[in-house]
Amino acid sequence: MIGITFRTDDVPVADRFDYWRQLMEQAIAPSDMSSEHATDFWAEQRLLELGPVRVWPIRVLPTRYLRNARMVRRSDPEEYHLSLVLGGGLGVDHVGRAETYGPHDLWLSDTSHPYDVQPYGMRPTAGLELPFITGVGVDFSKALLPLPPARVRELLGRRLSGRQGTGALLTGFLTGLDRQSAFLQPSDAPRLGMVLIDLLAAWLAQELEAERALPAETHRRVTVARVRAFIRQHLHDPELRPPMIAAAHHISLSYLHRLFQEEGSGETVAAWIRGRRLAGAHLDLADPALRSTPVHTIAARWGIPRASDFTRAFRAAYGISPTEHRLQALREGEQTPYETPDDRT
C-alpha cells in the first residue's frame, strides 16, 4: 500500500479548517486559504509520494487559495503544479491569464508566480447540498520536465482538456492511481513517478507541438503507456492481436515486440494481453452477482471465445480450473484483492 489519507473528521469541528490549512501547506506551496464553510469544514486528501512526484487526490468543500508575490519571494520550491478537476468548478488567475475549469479540465501552474484559485459556479441551490470540489493535484520539480521553461510558460493557467489524446491517458493514469493505491507497494512508487513524468512531458510537448524536444527514452515509455491503454480498451475484442495493435499506433510489429521486451518484466505482447484477460475473468468469476453467468460466456466477454483455450490458460495461470475458482470464491464469500486489467500502468 502507498499513500496516507487525511480527513478533517479526525479533529474537532472547531479545529478542522486550521488542520486543513496545515496539511495543505505541506502538500503545496504556501498560500492564504479561506472558505465560506470554515466553521463547518470538511475535506479529504490522499497523499501519494511517487519518488520525485507528489500526487494528492482530494475532495473538499469550496475553498480559495491565494498565493501573492510576497509569498513567492518568501518561499519558492521551484515546482510545477498540475490540477485535474473531476467535480465542481474553479476559477484561476495566473500569469495574467484568467480561466474557469470544470470536470475533466487540466491546468498547469508555476510556484514562482502568484495565483488566485477560487470556487466557480458553486453556489448552493435551494433544497440541495453544496457540491464538493473533487480532483487530483500533482507537484514536481521543474528540473524534471525536459522542456524549456519559456515554452512551458505558454501553457500556464490555460484550460486544457483531459478528455482526448495524451490528456485522456494522463487523466486515466491519475484516477487509476487513486483507485489502486491500496494495492500498490512502496517499491512501485519510484517507477510510477517516472511514468507520470513521462506522460506529463509528452502531454505538454503535444500541446506545444514540441514533441521533437523530448528525449528518445521518454518517447519510448509514453508509447508503451499508450499501447497498454489501447489494449485495455480492446480486451473484449477476440481479434486483438499484435499486428492490429502495431497498425493502430503506426509502428512496426518488430518495434512493438521490442518495446515489450525492454519494458517491465519482459512479457511478450500476447502474454500481456492474455494476462489482463485472465485477470478480468478471474474477477468476474468471483463476483456473486455473476454466479448464474456461464463460465464460457464470461470467457467470451474477455476476448477468449474457445472454452477449452480459456480453461487451459486459466489453470496454467492460477493452478485451478475456472469452475473450481468460482466455487471456492463463492464459498469464502469474498474476493481476494488483486490486479485487474485496467489497473496496471
Give the whole-angstrom CA distance, residue 28 versus residue 16. Answer: 18
pLDDT averaged over every residue in the chain: 88
**How many separate domains does the chain show?**
2
Residues 201 and 278 occupy one common structural domain: no
Give the whole-angstrom CA distance, residue 80 versus residue 152. Answer: 10
Out of 155, 188, 205, a domain closes at 205
Give the whole-angstrom CA distance, residue 282 versus residue 323. Answer: 10
- pLDDT at residue 222 in the model: 80
Residue 326 located in a structural domain: yes
Out of 182, 205, 228, a domain closes at 205
Residues 179 and 290 occupy one common structural domain: no
Question: Using 50, 70 and 90 to split pLDDT, how confident is the model at 298?
Answer: very high
- pLDDT at residue 118 in the model: 94
Among 54-63, 136-145, 307-316, 336-345, whose mean pLDDT is lowest? 336-345
Question: Using 50, 70 and 90 to split pLDDT, how confident is the model at 334?
Answer: low
The larger pLDDT score, comparing residue 10 to residue 94, is at 94
Residues 116 and 20 occupy one common structural domain: yes
Contacts of 313 (CB under 8 A, 6+ apart): 274, 278, 304
- pLDDT at residue 265 in the model: 63
- pLDDT at residue 190 in the model: 87
pLDDT at 340 over 80: no
Residue 25 located in a structural domain: yes
Q: Are 133 and 111 in contact (CB under 8 A)?
A: no
In sequence order, what E strands does the chain have? 4-7, 32-34, 43-50, 53-60, 64-67, 79-87, 90-94, 97-101, 105-110, 115-119, 133-141, 160-161
pLDDT at 67 over 60: yes
Residues 306 and 163 occupy one common structural domain: no
HSE of 298 in the Cβ direction (CA atoms, 13 Å)?
23
Out of 154, 177, 205, a domain closes at 205
Taking only the tens place, the pLDDT of each residue in 43-63 is 999 999 998 899 999 999 999
Residue 339 located in a structural domain: no
Residue 222 located in a structural domain: no
Residue 259 located in a structural domain: no
CATH code at 135?
2.60.120.10
Residue 344 located in a structural domain: no
Task: Kindly report the pTM of this predicted structure.
Answer: 0.71
Taking only the tens place, the pLDDT of each residue in 166-206 is 899 899 999 988 888 877 788 888 888 988 998 999 899 98
Residues 199 and 274 occupy one common structural domain: no
Residue 242 located in a structural domain: no
Residue 338 located in a structural domain: no
Three-state DSSP state, 258: helix
Domain extent, residue 288, equals 269-332
Taking only the tens place, the pLDDT of each residue in 261-286 is 877 567 889 999 999 999 999 999 99
- pLDDT at residue 339 in the model: 44
Residues 186 and 317 occupy one common structural domain: no
Taking only the tens place, the pLDDT of each residue in 116-142 is 999 998 766 555 566 899 999 999 999
In terms of Cα–Cα distance, which of 191, 289, 173, 291 is closest to 232?
173
In terms of Cα–Cα distance, which of 72, 75, 35, 77 is closest to 54?
77
